[in-house]
């Protein structure tokens, strides 16, 4: 019988192969979990941003004395009277509108330039971002966001209804 003081080449190759498989499985798991965490964080940020924009639109709508939505539902124009917001002066008009996948906000039409309050907004075909019901003086807002950068599409949908406080 032979005295064995070490491992054979075949045993070393098998052990190395098993080690490579274990490391590859661990790395693959890490990559999958990392991608999932990033997607979840991105979705959370999108939902949070949609909620903040929604709350702002609802607040502005409640302070408005009148609202007009465009026929396509991509523009919401709000008119304010000074008495309703506790100031003096003339009426002023603010506007939210969807343009190129972004919601733009103008605090005073024709005076202050527009600024982006939310990006990655993609309404489904036939859906309206803003809708106004003159009978009940309510504005419906439907924000859906889409992030195409990720492997799959993430959607964050928020629908809210605000009633004008003192509509005229």
Average pLDDT of span 12-40: 94
Secondary structure class of 164 (helix, strand, coil): coil
Show the CA angle centred on residue 91, arms to residues 90 and 96, nearest 5°.
140
Question: What distance lies between CA 95 and its chain's CA centroid?
Answer: 19
CA distances from 111 to 52, 78, 93, 94, 127 (A): 24, 15, 10, 10, 30
Does residue 53 have a pLDDT over 60? yes
Task: Point out which residues pair with 46 in neighbouring strands.
Answer: none
Query: Which two structure tokens, joined as six digits, stand for 147?
Result: 């992030």
| Residue position matching structure tokens 């100031």 | 87
| Residue position matching structure tokens 């990559």 | 31
Question: pLDDT-based confidence at 24, cuts 50/70/90?
Answer: very high
Q: Give dist(CA 87, CA 128) in Å, integer.
A: 33
Average pLDDT of span 16-37: 95
CA distances from 52 to 21, 48, 91, 118, 158 (A): 47, 6, 26, 10, 11
Question: pLDDT-based confidence at 146, cuts 50/70/90?
Answer: low
* pTM for the full predicted model: 0.64
Q: What is the chain's mean pLDDT, rounded?
A: 77
């Amino acid at each position: 019988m032979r005295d064995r003081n070490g491992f054979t080449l075949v045993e070393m190759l098998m052990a190395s192969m098993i080690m490579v498989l274990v490391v590859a499985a661990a790395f693959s798991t890490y990559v999958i979990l990392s991608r999932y965490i990033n997607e979840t964080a991105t979705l959370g940020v999108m939902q949070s941003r949609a909620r903040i924009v929604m709350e702002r639109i609802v607040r502005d709508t409640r302070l408005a004395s009148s609202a007009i939505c465009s026929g396509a539902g991509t523009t919401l124009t709000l008119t304010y009277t000074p008495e309703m917001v506790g100031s003096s002066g003339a009426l002023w008009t603010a506007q939210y509108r969807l343009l190129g996948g972004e919601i733009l906000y103008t605090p005073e039409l024709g005076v202050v330039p527009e600024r982006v309050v939310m990006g990655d907004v993609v309404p489904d075909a036939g859906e309206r971002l803003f809708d106004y019901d003159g009978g009940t003086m309510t504005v419906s807002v439907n924000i859906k966001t889409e992030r195409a950068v990720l492997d799959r599409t993430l959607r964050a949908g928020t629908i809210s209804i605000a009633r004008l406080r003192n509509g005229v």
